[in-house]
Amino acid sequence: MADQEIEESTQPHRTVSRRNFIKGVIAAGATVSATSYLFRGALLGQQSSLPGAVERLMTLNVNGQMRRVDVMKQETLAWTLRYKLGLTGTKLGCDRSECGACTVLIDDVPHYSCSILTHTVRGRKVTTIEGLAAPDGTLHPVQQAVVDEQGFQCAFCMPGFVMATVGYLKLNPNPTRAELAHGISGNLCRCGDYNKILTAMTRAAEYLRRT
Ligand code: FES
Ligand code: FES
């Protein structure tokens, strides 16, 4: 065991398998930033100190925890989650309601968090990809299906697809492949990996029905 650990720490590229990489991304979400929203971020950051800017301290129910956070009135939920609460599993792709990368559940219903102002979710239950696994680390069945099927290429779109699928399967736990495709059609994959994604999500539905 000790020898194995030494080998792992001295030879990292041999031990980072695609499976482990995807598992890590699913559990916590990789931090991937696009230049466009980095610039937007710089602007938002400056706005808090502009004359007349209003900051509001509020409590958000995120992943079962009550989180106190300063929220500007024009701040989106995606921004608050990623840059104030450190929940970077929620991705920002288009930042304008087109791609679904930012999908989270609000009261168990999927929403684009880039297009919802944070102050409007006061008193509601927000769930992000980080809140899906059980406290002991057991993956949610949808996450487990993604691991088992290796359903994504770069996986940037994956947290959004997982959240959209979790929300959709609450409404229709036994969908056909076509129904599932329609149910999560608000999410786009820039790698075009839709066939594998659908296979993973179909497996997810199976796993959920067994729980
Ligand atoms: S980042 Fe929200 S829909 Fe694309
Ligand atoms: S797997 Fe790359 S964007 Fe979907």
Q: Please tell me if the CB atom of residue 156 comes closer than 6 angstroms to any atom of ligand 2.
A: yes
Write the pLDDT tens digit of every residue in 162-210. 999 999 999 999 999 999 999 999 999 999 999 999 999 999 999 999 9
Residue type, 66: M
Cα 149 off chain centre by: 18
Task: Note the ligand closest to the C-alpha atom of 100.
Answer: 1
The b/e string for 130-139 (b: 16+ C-beta within 10 A; e otherwise) is: bbbbeeeeeb
Provide the whole-model pTM.
0.79
SS3 call for 154: coil
SS3 call for 198: helix
Q: Please tell me if the CB atom of residue 19 comes closer than 6 angstroms to any atom of ligand 2.
A: no
Q: Which of 191, 194, 195, 199 to mutate to test the pocket of ligand 2 (most atoms within 8 A of CB)?
A: 191
Name the pairing type of β-strands 55-62 and 125-127.
Answer: parallel
Write the pLDDT tens digit of every residue in 70-81. 999 999 999 999
The answer to whether residues 40 and 95 touch, using CB atoms and an 8 Å cutoff, is yes
Tokens of 204: 């997810």
